[in-house]
Amino acid sequence: MIVFDKVWFSYGLHHVLKDVSFTISENERVAILGESGEGKTTILKLILGLIRPDAGKIIIDGEDISNKSEDELRKVRMKFSIVFQEGALFDSLNVKENVAFCLREYSKLSEDEIDHKVRELLRIVGVEHAIELMPDELSGGMHRRVAIARSLAACEPKMFLYDEATTGLDPVNADIICKLILDLSKNGRGLIIVTHKIFDAVKIAKRFIFLKDGIILFDGDKDDLLHSTIPEIQIYLNEVNFS
Amino acid sequence: MKIKERISELQDFYLLSTRGLLGAVRKPFYFKDMIEQMDYAGAGSFIIIILVSLFIGMALSLQLAAELSSLGLKMYTGKIVGISIIREIGPVAAALVFAGRVGSGMASELGSMILGHQIDSLRVFGVDPIKKLVTPRILSSIVMLPALTIIGDVVSLFGGYYIAVFVSHQSGTFYWSSIRDVLTFENVFAGAAKPFIFGYLIACISCYMGFSTKGGSKGLRTSTTRAVVVSIVMIIVSDFILTRILLYVLGFSV
């Protein structure tokens, strides 16, 4: 379970999150919505302990991670699997080496076993044919799918975190990624997707958190979101032609 | 606010430099990454070091021969070229080339990894970015810069020889015997100790600048430029300090 308790965070003098509080269970499918620069990605980074809050507590499975050391945070991070915006593949490694990275780092598998596992993961995400390609030779959709395969190789996560997983993709590829994200959560594992593409968010999530000017303006389900009378949300839905 | 930021930056730099070096004696060891960095830093800089050193040796020999000829002392060309190259110019020139080529490469590579969230990915996967990325770069610089300096010194001496013998018409045998006379332990040690320090400084500064990249491609440009500029300034400042210390320790009177 993830608990944000009165969390404040700022970049320099700009307050990105102001007294933000929410609780997310590990089997929930949550979309964090908002315009660019509203602190959506910041929330994911705070969950993983990649950055520390200025004030407030972030509690993961009962443990306050706000002041944990990097070594202690490693255990917390293993509970999650994250796909960063645009994949964040290691650009000096090919697809196979990217997916095999964590297997080589932590497992004692032989090279044959790693090869077998990598092919299996790439088959799950549908890009087995790209195994020898370098990241800069991949299309946007393939990039994200390889990133998902790599995150699956990392650990057995309790939750998946996706940062703008479908941004920049054409509708066909975005739909493929949405289906893949849903498939991976079928066994009850929760997810948090950060996006400004509400079309994709409603395909995946059941709960929606809307951020505006550093505060949570809305927290509810799809029907409540679409029928919200909050002016900022109506403007947002109109802007994305979703009302 | 500015002073507080500067102190905070210095503290971060100190931590990165210390942890980067301590990574060499703490598991896990990334030998493959270190070999890859040694290839990039050493073999990749080989030709440029040879070219720069050759022309520095020739220019120095030319200047000295011209000046010493007017005093009737041009037989000392070899001795002065030898001392200058081995003790001072060789290590500094190699370090400046190394900072320009390898330091900028380190800063831009790490900077683009920061901007592309690759460093965050490493941290999420439980890999310490300092051990994985900084330690191999520090070790490869500490090993390869001294090696390149020795090669550069030899090439510079040959450049000086060419000018002394074929332009200034001096005796080649006398030139090499003058060089042999200056190859004392004190002179060689004074020149050989510096590249280890320079290599460590360049790698730490460049990695720190790379890691502190923010603000897209403009930020990457700034951090790369800062890495080279700060490295160059620090090489020259530390060269003076090291020279002062080494002259004192080795018993030279000033």
- What residue spans define the domains of chain A? 89-156
Helices (H) and strands (E) in chain A, counts: 9, 10
pLDDT for the residue B171: 92
Q: Residue A243 pLDDT more than 60? A: no
- Give me the total of CB pairs closer than 8 Å, taking one residue from chain A and one from chain B: 43
Query: Cα distance from A228 to chain B (closest Cα, Å)?
Result: 35
Mean pLDDT of chain B: 94
Domains of chain B, by residue range, sit at 30-249
Query: Helix, strand or coil for residue B56?
Result: helix
A199-221 residues labelled b (16+ CB within 10 A) or e (exposed): ebbbbbbebbbbbbebebbbbee
- Do the chains contact at A80 and B125, CB–CB below 8 Å? no
* CB proximity B215 to A under 8 Å: no
User: What is the average per-residue pLDDT within B14-22?
Assistant: 95
pLDDT value of position B79: 94
3 state DSSP class of B45: helix
Please determine, for residue A226, whether its predicted confidence score (pLDDT) is greater than 90: no
Distance from CA of A141 to the nearest CA of B (A): 17
- How far is the alpha carbon of A29 from chain B, nearest alpha carbon, in Å? 21
pLDDT in tens, A99-156: 999 888 877 889 999 999 999 999 988 889 999 999 999 988 888 889 988 988 877 7
Q: Considering chain A, what is the average pLDDT of its residues?
A: 88
| Stretch B111-116: mean pLDDT | 94
Q: How many angstroms separate the CA atoms of B81 and B165, rounded? A: 13
Distances B60 to A195, B32, B64 between C-alpha atoms, Å: 62, 40, 6
Q: Which residues contact B249 (CB under 8 A, 6 or more apart)?
A: none
Q: How far is A222 from chain B (nearest CA, A)?
A: 31
List of chain A residues whose C-beta atoms are within 8 Å of the C-beta of residue B121: 82, 84, 88, 90
* Model pLDDT, residue A37: 81
Cβ–Cβ of A84/B126 closer than 8 Å?
no
Q: What is the pLDDT of residue B2?
A: 82
Residues of B in contact with A48 (CB under 8 A): 120, 123-124
- Chain A neighbours among B 83-142 (CB < 8 Å)? 112, 116-118, 120-121, 123-128
User: Coil, strand or helix: which one is A18?
Assistant: strand
**Chain A contacts of B125, Cβ < 8 Å?**
77, 101-102, 105, 154
Please state, as a whole number, how many other Cβ atoms lie within 10 Å of the Cβ of residue B181: 13
Contact predicate A233/A65, CB 8 Å: no
Nearest-angstrom CA–CA distance, B91 and A74? 42
As a whole-number percent, the residues of chain A with pLDDT over 70 amount to 98
Over range B6-21, report the average pLDDT. 94
Q: Which of A42-56, A153-167, B47-61 shows the lowest per-residue confidence on average (mean pLDDT)?
A: A153-167
Tell if the CB–CB gap between A91 and B121 is shorter than 8 Å.
no
Report yes or no: B207 and B106 within 8 Å, Cβ to Cβ: yes
| Contact (CB, 8 A) for A238 and A43 | no
Q: What is the ipTM of this complex?
A: 0.84
* Interchain proximity A84–B120, CB inside 8 Å: yes
Q: What is chain B's Cα-based Rg? A: 21
Q: What percent of chain A lies above the pLDDT cut of 90?
A: 41
pLDDT in tens, B175-202: 999 999 999 999 999 999 999 999 999 9
pLDDT (0 to 100) of residue B55: 97
* Numbered residues of chain A with Cβ closer than 8 Å to any chain B Cβ: 45, 48, 50, 70, 74, 77-78, 80, 82, 84-86, 88-91, 101-102, 105-106, 154
Residue B107: which residues within 8 A CB-CB, separation 6 or more? B206, B207, B209, B210, B213, B223, B224, B226, B227, B228
**With 90 as the cut, is the pLDDT of residue A173 above it?**
no
Are A88 and B128 a contacting pair at CB < 8 A?
no
Cα nearest neighbour of A161 on chain B: B124
b/e B132-160 (16+ beta carbons within 10 angstroms → b): bbbbbbbbbbbbbbbbbbbbbbbbbbebb
Which residue has 């290691």 as its token pair?
A90
